[in-house]
Amino acid sequence: MPRAKRGFKRRRRHNKVLKKAEGFVLGRKNKFKRTAEAVDRASIYAYRDRRVKKREFRQLWIARLSAAANNLDISYNNLISALKKAQVQLDRKVLADIAIADPSTFAAIVNQVRA
């Protein structure tokens, strides 16, 4: 029976991990053990931060809507309540974009739901 050191399989597995570490610095890009640790940690952060990004964008849209609503003498709270009662199907992302890009249209939406 010939001696097998798992050369091909090991090299393929190592190369897969090393490829994910492109752009890392010092030993974190070319020493397998440190690279594997760094890649594992990076994937954990990436998973977590995909969810954090959603949170932060929603927070930004709310801040923008609140500022735009306050310019029209209505609070954010009352604006969202009026939009729900009027059954307006625009979400916060779209409303924030309208408020920034076209303030006159946003004012028209607010005046429509206010009445």
The answer to whether position 2 is within a domain reads: no
Task: Determine the 3-state secondary structure of 62 from DSSP.
Answer: helix
The pLDDT assigned to 23 comes to 93
The pLDDT assigned to 24 comes to 94
Q: How far apart are CA 41 and CA 97, in angstroms?
A: 35
The pLDDT assigned to 58 comes to 97
Per-residue pLDDT of the chain (115 residues; tens, 9 = 90+): 777 777 788 899 999 999 999 999 999 999 999 999 999 999 999 999 999 999 999 999 999 999 999 999 999 999 999 999 999 999 999 999 999 999 999 999 999 998 7
The pLDDT assigned to 3 comes to 77
The pLDDT assigned to 8 comes to 86
Strands (E) in 49-114, as ranges, are none
**Which run of H or E residues covers position 81?**
helix 76-85
The pLDDT assigned to 7 comes to 75
Residue 108: which domain range? 7-114
- Contact between residue 35 and residue 17 where contact means Cβ atoms under 8 Å apart: yes
Q: Which residues, in sequence order, are CB contacts of 22 under 8 Å at separation 6+?
A: 29
The pLDDT assigned to 87 comes to 93
CA neighbor of 32 nearest in space, from 8, 5, 13:
13
Q: How far apart are CA 18 and CA 52, in angstroms?
A: 27
CATH assignment of the domain containing 61: 1.10.1900.20
Q: Which residues, in sequence order, are CB contacts of 65 under 8 Å at separation 6+?
A: 76, 79, 80, 92, 95, 96, 99
The answer to whether position 63 is within a domain reads: yes
The answer to whether position 19 is within a domain reads: yes
The answer to whether position 15 is within a domain reads: yes
pTM to 2 decimal places: 0.75
How many structural domains is the chain composed of? 1
The answer to whether position 33 is within a domain reads: yes
